[in-house]
Amino acid sequence: MNERAERYDPAVFEASWRARWEADELYRVDDDDPRNKHYLLTMYPYTSGDVHIGHWYAATGPDIVARMRRMQGLNVMFPMGFDSFGLPAENAAIDRGVHPATWTYANIDRMRTQFRTIGTAFDWTREVVTSDPEYYRWTQWLFVQFFRAGLAYRAMAPVDWCPKDQVVLAREQVEGANRVCWRCGTPVVKRDLEQWFFRTTQYADELLDFSQIDWPEPIRLMQTNWIGRSDGADIDFAVEADGQAPIRVFTTRPDTVFGATFMVLAPEHAAVAALTTDQRRAEVEAYVATARRETEIERMSAERDKNGVFIGAYAVNPMTSERIPIWIADYVLPGYGTGAIMGVPAHDERDYAFAVRYELPIRFVVAPRGGETDAGQAFLPHTDDEVLVGSGEFTGLSAAEGIAAITARLAERGQGGPSVSYKIRDWLVSRQRYWGAPIPIVYCEEHGAQPVPEDQLPVLLPRDVDFVPTGVSPLQSHPEFLAATCPVCGAAARRETDTMDTFVDSSWYFLRYCSPNEETRPWDPEVVSRWMPVDLYAGGAEHAVLHLMYSRFFTKALRDMGHLDFDEPFTALRNQGQILGADHQRMSKSRGNVANPDELVARYGTDTVRCFLMFIGPWDQGGPWNPTGIEGVHRFLGRAWSVATVQEGGSPRPRAIPGMPPAQSLAGEPPGVTRYLMTKKL
């Protein structure tokens, strides 16, 4: 009777099965289910438009794991939501002349439908959308908690600025040796602006500890390098100027202090103006102005000429008591260590080049045990087989002993001591753009920056704003938004107009999934404590020092504020590979090599496309997209389907397989091999 059912034709039954599973709430997970929990998370997508083959690939692997964990008897939470604030929405909206909200929510509708077509086992009842006031109310609440805990602060800082996007970038959003915007590839420039920061540096050491998590080595390495811890010593150099505090340097080589024959300050160092002598002032000021215009990478380049200017002042080497000249040079950066270095030309290549150029003394104070150093270049090796020479009472010690002894002596004399330096900087979270969560702060003449009282949250983002970028927040031209009252004295106050980096939104969305409908708090601590941490997190490796590091920071900070009772958000992490275009290049609209799965789905069905994606190769490796083999996968599924079903009087029934127990009866139900994989409680 039913001819079509003889043949594997997913178009006949996929949609009706999807409707049935949704009606049955097959994937809805209960917090109170007594079975062991398993929290499986795939990174929520940005609401950029279409669900493309990359999303399919990213979602299908974890979807298979979710099904397997269910079959193993676990209570699996597998939620999905949308990362919907941020620049791409705003830029697309500007290009199209529509409101960012209109563009974003239309995309969400389309993407949600597409994700349903894939047949993923997401629990949509837990969906979060970060641009919903019900969500960003709590993003703002979290900001207030960070502010109260001293982990959010405002400071004037030279910041990285993308001239194209007209926005400040976090350091993590500046990419590559030529320092380009992570989003549009435009070289960034420096600007001095008042900005909001989160104190990520306070957690630098804890973020280096990966002992509780099972994460891929490359991600751990990237975070380790990003945090960039170095152990060494602080050394204070007195200066020959009345009333001036000593200048502190950080060095990883305190064993070489006897070889320090000059000092170099970053041109931005706070002491430069006060120490510069009148004869040197014009030249120093010109040099400072030039250095400020250059990028860090230009300044750090190894090939670059090491040039600088003597400022006319002298410091005193605390070990030799010699007076040493103070220079400024752009190869010393204000943001690393203390922004001041001791120049040890005999044991540092840059200092060597500098000393040769300006005829500064070069004094060797470390040598191979029983060997000689070559006076024609810096001696750099830092091995166990070296001893201190020409270092007073420390001469003859091994380099390691020298480090310990000299550091201890400095500490005894109150001239420094052991110290640690990090490359990581605090996270810059304010953005001068419209489409984001407003920072919940008001400014009072008398009381300064005050957080908006929690019962007045959310600070709603007004709809009627001209959001075309000008470099200042578009909210500044909205008088009703600007007007506020001081929560301390009730006087008129001005509202903060910057919005938050979207990475703040994604630093806690996994917590909101646990209790998405809470109206009086961001989450139910008891439910969060039951579900968290995420057992397996799946997503792209490109977020190594962004989302993945920020989420760890958030978790640790919220733990210390008493809001969470665990240390890490994601116990295990796996990164999918990338699906490349047929030309083996990264898929992009500009290359025209983006594969759209919709046609294939219409022709072969969702299961075939999903299976085919998983047969490309190991999930963490990806590969080029070449759908020529899809017929084979389709035939394979067709065979599996015909084994599982047989037509008899219009009702599909399982066919007996020799040696196998009889399969579950499917009488009266639409046929489909996937039925076997979808049973809720096995």
Stretch that binds Zn ion, among 131-139, 235-243, 361-369, 438-446 (CB under 5 A): 438-446
Stretch that binds Zn ion, among 174-182, 337-345, 385-393, 658-666 (CB under 5 A): 174-182
List the interface residues with Zn ion, window 262-281 (CB under 5 A): none
Give the tokens for residue 403. 């480090």
Contact 77, 128 (CB under 8 A): no
Cα–Cα distance for residue pair 176/172, rounded to 1 Å: 10
E strand residue ranges, 386-447: 386-388, 416-421, 427-428, 430-431, 441-444
Nearer residue to Zn ion within complex by CB, 333 or 449: 449
Stretch that binds Zn ion, among 232-240, 353-361, 447-455, 611-619 (CB under 5 A): 447-455
- Residues 6 or more apart whose CB falls under 8 angstroms from that of 242 comprise none
Stretch that binds Zn ion, among 63-71, 271-279, 377-385, 444-452 (CB under 5 A): 444-452
Nearest distance from residue 474's CB to Zn ion, in Å? 17
| Partner residues linked to 46 by β-bridges | 83
Stretch that binds Zn ion, among 117-125, 186-194, 240-248, 404-412 (CB under 5 A): 186-194
Nearest distance from residue 517's CB to Zn ion, in Å? 36
Closest CA to 123 of 78, 76, 81: 78
Nearest distance from residue 494's CB to Zn ion, in Å? 11
Own/partner pairs for 587-592, CB < 8 Å, 24+ apart? 587/52, 587/53, 587/54, 587/625
Cα–Cα distance for residue pair 454/347, rounded to 1 Å: 56
Is residue 93 helix, strand or coil?
helix
| Rounded to 5°, angle at Cα 121 from 115 and 124 | 70
Number of residues that make up the chain: 682
Binding residues for Zn ion, rule CB under 5 A, total: 13
Nearest distance from residue 466's CB to Zn ion, in Å? 21
Q: Does 466 bind Zn ion (CB under 5 A)?
A: no
Cα–Cα distance for residue pair 493/141, rounded to 1 Å: 20
Q: Does 323 bind Zn ion (CB under 5 A)?
A: no
Q: Does 110 bind Zn ion (CB under 5 A)?
A: no
Closest CA to 74 of 681, 621, 549, 513: 681
Nearest distance from residue 492's CB to Zn ion, in Å? 9
Q: Does 184 bind Zn ion (CB under 5 A)?
A: yes
- The single-letter code of the amino acid at 395 is T
Nearest distance from residue 557's CB to Zn ion, in Å? 28
Q: Does 76 bind Zn ion (CB under 5 A)?
A: no
Nearer residue to Zn ion within complex by CB, 68 or 491: 491
| Rounded to 5°, angle at Cα 80 from 550 and 528 | 60
Residue given tokens 């945090």 in the structure block: 227
| Contact pick of 489, 602, 667, 682 for Zn ion (by CB under 5 A) | 489
Q: Does 446 bind Zn ion (CB under 5 A)?
A: yes
| Contact pick of 71, 468, 488, 602 for Zn ion (by CB under 5 A) | 488
Q: Residue 370 is inside which H or E element, if any?
A: none
Nearer residue to Zn ion within complex by CB, 446 or 480: 446
Query: DSSP assignment of 278-324, as one string?
Result: GGGHHHHHHHHHHHHHS-HHHHH-TTS---EEEEEEEEE-TTT--EE
| Contact pick of 181, 324, 355, 611 for Zn ion (by CB under 5 A) | 181
| Contact pick of 151, 315, 365, 486 for Zn ion (by CB under 5 A) | 486
Q: Give burial (CB, 10 Å; 0-12/13-18/19+) of 293.
A: exposed
Instruction: Enter the DSSP assignment of 538.
Output: E
Q: Write the interaction track for Zn ion spanning residues 131-170; mark x where CB under 5 A is met and - where it is not.
A: -------------------------------x-xx-----
Q: Does 444 bind Zn ion (CB under 5 A)?
A: yes
Nearer residue to Zn ion within complex by CB, 432 or 608: 432
183 CB neighbour count, 10 Å cutoff = 17
Nearest distance from residue 168's CB to Zn ion, in Å? 11
Stretch that binds Zn ion, among 55-63, 216-224, 239-247, 479-487 (CB under 5 A): 479-487
Nearer residue to Zn ion within complex by CB, 289 or 488: 488
Nearest distance from residue 551's CB to Zn ion, in Å? 23
Query: Alpha helices of 561-668 — where are they, by DSSP H?
Result: 598-604, 606-615, 630-644
Nearest distance from residue 169's CB to Zn ion, in Å? 7
Q: Give burial (CB, 10 Å; 0-12/13-18/19+) of 330.
A: buried
Nearer residue to Zn ion within complex by CB, 491 or 657: 491
468 CB neighbour count, 10 Å cutoff = 11
Query: Which chain residues interact with Zn ion by CB under 5 A?
Result: 162, 164-165, 181, 183-184, 186, 444, 446-447, 486, 488-489
